[in-house]
């Protein structure tokens, strides 16, 4: 009997090392979005994946805009350690650090597969780390919305003059470009957009694409839906408090990193899907919606203004600003050559029949 | 002392359940490719991910074509249980079961984001399961090559007559379409392709895209590189022996499922990247290579022949054949509407300057 007890004790001592390894970590994640926002999809996937892959060792609770009331405060909430993680959009922090601007979307920039090629096989991840590490933060791709539409217009845009004085909601760099060609760019909270458009307080709304726009009902009051240039892809962001991350065992760090990467891809697939579903709903239920591309002359002008603005941003920035911009530009040019003879050539060559 | 022993025993009994859970599983995976093939990328990622996420509980050894010598025998190797897993291409099994044909590539079919939307949010995964379950196999997306080029031609194709009697290597459904318009479709092993083309034994080679074609050197002897229609996306395949899978604890099943999904996405990103890199190399080092799209009239004819062939396949097939084909066609039409006003509109509207 004594021998059995000794064996039990030895196994007990061994098993305690497992017990220490199996310590449970409780994290909190603050997301910029409301809990039912389509942008929260990658967070839902991420939570499901960490649950599956950490064997319950990592429990992450999500708090949405409704709880923390700080959709534009995620950077500080994670930096301070109040939350170990956040989900938001890098461009929100441009006033804290202009170099955060480039990691969400750039007008006339890369489409999603080109952008992921830059992040994971070009300089993207390394440069993003360079920007965020000085704040004790880790930043990772957080899911892509794919191509965004320019938005919903009450009236047709036939020339540049039609844009002058037009009151339009448009955010980010694209909003500044629009302002520079004479648009009266205004900021209206999301939940007031429909009413403003219906009342004629604003003339146009740039938002996302069919997947997200549909539920807001813009098609009822603004029948011209313009194709995009403002955000050919838009990447969300996972933010992590670096100290909290370093306290985790390596196995859980790997769970988190892989779960983020998979959740980000999953969101791109999901939104691609929903864009198709909702676009078909719009086409069937609202046959009067007119899909338009801007006239060529207007697009040319927007490209010129975007270049001018980007040159200003580069000049006013620091060495890192210029390193990021030059890396993105080179990567876009190189990967675009393939997109042009690959997907684009196929789509164009079969476009009148398929 | 007795009490301590009792506690130790209780802990011992608890800990044994952990010990049983932590059993190590050794699996073998047979891949159709040689170990250094770019198509093996998703397998490399998959192995790295299962190592990271299973805490060493799942050890998978990879055997390549060089070892098992059966690139077209993976289905049987996994079905028989000789290997627990495989990595190959679903269309290789079309002679065993015609319904396996559709899960790799279809001429004039979906591009990669549309296809993933079908797999993960449409009927794709469910229909693939329906096809493979009767063989005791599980099949999952195994990584996409993105859009494939039609291939390398020694002479320009200016009209349909130029294709008549042309000796060309082209596989799959696209090969049959080519045969139906008068091409002399031949099968040449990959390692003899360059020499055959150089010797003039064949006139053209359809292979993949720049990422994979480059190393084979076709550009040296066939200066016309034609854009694709034959495989707008091409999905590889993970095969799993269902009995082996069911013997695994649920936690390892989840590791495998998530690792496969992530590895598949990772391969699409990697090949997108390599296509850009290698295309730029070709353009810089071999400025005489001419990039061409088929004349419109030829493309129209190929579309007609593809439809005719697909109709034959549907008629000769069973209910499941028709269910798969109808699901794919509907999904393509719906998701393509979004691709057209999304990525394609953006690419076209900025194409002469960006």
A92-139 pLDDT tens trace: 999 999 999 999 999 999 999 999 999 999 999 999 999 999 999 999
Q: Residues of B with CB below 8 A from A12's CB?
A: 8, 11-12, 15
Measure CB to CB from residue B261 to each of A147, A262, A276 and give the nearest one. A262
pLDDT for res A196: 96
- In chain B, % of residues over pLDDT 70: 93
Residue B1 has pLDDT above 70, yes or no: no
pLDDT at site A190: 84
Give how far B65 is from chain A: nearest CA, Å.
27
pLDDT tens by residue, B82-134 = 999 999 999 999 999 999 999 999 999 999 999 999 999 999 999 999 999 99
pLDDT at site B312: 97
Instruction: Output the DSSP codes for B6-28.
Output: HHHHHHHHHHHHHHHHT--EEEE
Rounded to 5°, the CA angle A284-A286-A291 comes to: 95
Kindly list the residues from chain A whose CB atom is less than 8 angstroms away from the CB atom of residue B12.
Answer: 8, 11-12, 15
From the list B261, B294, B344, the residue facing A347 with the nearest CB is B344
Closest in B227, B262, B273 to A349, CB measured: B227
Region for residue B222 given its phi and psi (left: phi exceeds 0; alpha: psi -120 to 50; beta: otherwise)? beta
Residues B294-301: what's their mean pLDDT? 95
Judged by CB atoms closer than 8 Å, whether chains meet at A254 and B52 is answered as: yes
Question: Quick one: average pLDDT of A183-203?
Answer: 94
What pLDDT, on a 0 to 100 scale, did the predictor assign at position B15? 44
Give the CA count within 13 Å in the CB-facing half-sphere of B17: 5
Distance from CA of B73 to the nearest CA of A (A): 31
The number of beta carbons lying within 10 Å of the beta carbon of residue A39 is 22
Confidence check: pLDDT of B19 > 60: no
Beta bridge partners of A238: A87, A140
Number of Cβ pairs closer than 8 Å across A and B? 229
Q: What percent of chain B stands above pLDDT 90? A: 90
> Over the stretch B148-199, which tens digit does the pLDDT of each residue have?
999 999 999 999 999 999 999 998 899 999 999 999 999 888 889 999 999 9
CA distance A22 to chain B (A): 11
Confidence band of A7 (pLDDT split at 50, 70, 90): low
List the single residue in B149, B229, B346 with the smallest CB-CB distance to A350.
B229
Contacts of B204 (CB under 8 A, 6+ apart): B151, B152, B153, B154, B166, B167, B168, B169, B197, B222
Nearest CA in chain A to B109: A354
Nearest-Cα distance to chain B for A139, in Å, is 19
Q: Which CATH class is domain A148-230+288-317?
A: alpha beta
The pLDDT of residue A45 is 98
Q: Can you give the pLDDT at residue A17?
A: 39
pLDDT at A4: 56
pLDDT digits (tens, 9 = 90+) for A238-285: 999 999 999 999 999 999 999 999 999 999 999 999 999 999 999 999
* Torsion angle defined by CA atoms of residues B306, B307, B311 and B312, in that order, rounded to the nearest 10 degrees: -30
- Does the pLDDT of residue B232 top 50, yes or no? yes
Contact A276 B335 (CB under 8 A): yes
**Is the Cβ–Cβ distance between A28 and A63 less than 8 Å?**
yes
Residues in chain A closer than 8 A to B268 (CB atoms): 113
Report pLDDT for A353: 57
Interface test with A, best of B286, B347, B351 (most A CBs within 10 A): B347
Q: What pLDDT does A352 receive? A: 60
pLDDT of residue A112: 98
Q: Which residue of A has its CA nearest to B290?
A: A341
Closest Cβ–Cβ partner in A228, A265, A268 for B346? A228
Residue A20 confidence (pLDDT): 43
A227 with B346: Cβ contact below 8 A = yes
Provide, as residue numbers in chain B, all residues whose Cβ is less than 8 Å from the Cβ of A343.
Answer: 111, 146-147, 232, 343
Q: Looking at residue A8, what is its pLDDT?
A: 53
Determine, for residues B258 and A49 on separate chains, whether the beta-carbon distance falls below 8 Å: yes
Distance of CA A113 to the CA centre of its chain: 14
β B184-186/B137-144 pair status? unpaired
Domain boundaries, chain A: 24-144+234-286+320-354, 148-230+288-317
The answer, yes or no, to whether residue B209 has pLDDT greater than 70, is yes
DSSP letters spanning B81-99: TSSSEEEE-GGGGTTT-GG
Chain mean pLDDT for chain B? 93
pLDDT band at A38 (very low <50, low <70, confident <90, very high): very high
Q: How close, in Å, is residue A174 to chain B by CA atoms?
A: 14
Quick one: which of A110, A239, A354 has its CA closest to B354? Answer: A110
CA neighbor of A238 nearest in space, from A47, A10, A52, A96:
A47
Strand order in the sheet with A151-153: A184-186, A167-169, A204-205, A151-153, A224-226, A290-292
A chain contacts of residue B291, beta-carbon cutoff 8 Å: 341
Interacting residues of A268 by C-beta distance below 8 A, sequence separation 6+: A112, A143, A144, A145, A146, B113
The CATH number given to A24-144+234-286+320-354 is: 3.40.190.170
Contacts of B298 (CB under 8 A, 6+ apart): B157, B159, B160, B163
Phi (first) and psi of residue A214, to 5 degrees:
-50, -50
How would residue A16 be classed by pLDDT, with cut points 50, 70 and 90? very low
Please provide the average confidence, as pLDDT, over all residues in chain A: 93
- A194-227 pLDDT, tens digit per residue, is 999 999 999 999 999 999 999 999 999 999 999 9
Residue numbers in A near B293 (CB within 8 A): 345, 348-349
**Which pLDDT band holds residue A2 (cuts at 50, 70, 90)?**
low
Distance from CA of B67 to the nearest CA of A (A): 30
- Are the folds of A24-144+234-286+320-354 and A148-230+288-317 the same? yes
Rounded to an integer, the average pLDDT of A303-330 is 97
CB-CB: which of A108, A113, A265 is closest to B350?
A: A108
Give the pLDDT score at A219: 93
* Band of residue B228 on the pLDDT scale cut at 50, 70, 90: very high
| Whole-number pLDDT of residue B354 | 54
Q: What is the structure's pLDDT at B189?
A: 86
Show the DSSP H helices in B286-316 as ranges: 296-316
**Nearest residue on chain A to B284, alpha-carbon basis:** A334
Q: What is the pLDDT of residues B234-267, one digit of tens each?
A: 999 999 999 999 999 999 999 999 999 999 999 9
ipTM above 0.85, yes or no: yes
Q: Of B72, B94, B82, B78, whose CA–CA distance to B135 is shortest?
A: B78
Predicted local distance difference test score (pLDDT) of residue A269: 98
């Amino acid at each position: 009997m004594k021998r059995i007890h000794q064996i039990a004790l030895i196994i007990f001592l061994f098993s305690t090392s497992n017990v220490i390894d199996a310590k449970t970590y409780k994290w909190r994640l603050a997301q910029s979005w409301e809990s039912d926002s389509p942008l929260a999809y990658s967070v839902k996937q991420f939570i499901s994946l960490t649950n599956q892959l950490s064997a319950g060792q990592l429990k992450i609770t999500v708090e949405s805009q409704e709880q923390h009331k700080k959709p534009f405060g995620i950077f500080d909430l994670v930096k301070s350690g109040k939350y170990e993680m956040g989900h938001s959009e890098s461009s929100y922090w441009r006033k804290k650090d202009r170099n955060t601007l480039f990691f969400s979307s750039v007008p006339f920039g890369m489409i999603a597969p080109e952008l992921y090629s830059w992040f994971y096989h070009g300089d993207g991840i390394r440069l993003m780390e360079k920007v965020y590490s000085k704040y004790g933060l880790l930043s990772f791709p957080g899911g892509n919305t794919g191509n965004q539409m320019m938005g919903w217009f009450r009236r047709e845009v036939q020339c540049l003059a039609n844009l002058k004085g037009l009151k339009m909601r448009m955010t980010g760099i694209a909003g500044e470009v629009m302002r520079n060609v004479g648009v009266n760019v205004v900021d209206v909270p999301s939940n007031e957009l429909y009413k403003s458009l219906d009342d004629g307080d604003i003339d146009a709304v740039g938002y996302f694409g069919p997947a997200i726009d549909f539920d807001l009902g813009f098609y009822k009051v603004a029948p011209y839906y313009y194709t995009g240039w403002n955000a050919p892809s838009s990447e969300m962001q996972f933010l992590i408090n670096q100290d909290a991350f370093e306290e985790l065992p390596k196995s859980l760090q790997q769970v988190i990193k892989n779960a983020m990467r998979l959740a980000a891809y999953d969101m791109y697939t999901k939104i691609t899907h929903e864009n198709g579903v909702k676009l078909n709903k719009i086409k069937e239920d609202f046959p009067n919606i007119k899909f338009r591309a801007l006239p060529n002359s207007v697009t040319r002008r927007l490209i010129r203004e975007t270049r001018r603005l980007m040159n200003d941003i580069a000049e006013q920035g620091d060495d890192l600003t210029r390193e990021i911009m030059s890396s993105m530009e080179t990567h876009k040019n190189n990967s675009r050559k393939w997109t042009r003879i690959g997907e684009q050539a196929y789509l164009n060559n079969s476009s009148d029949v398929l």
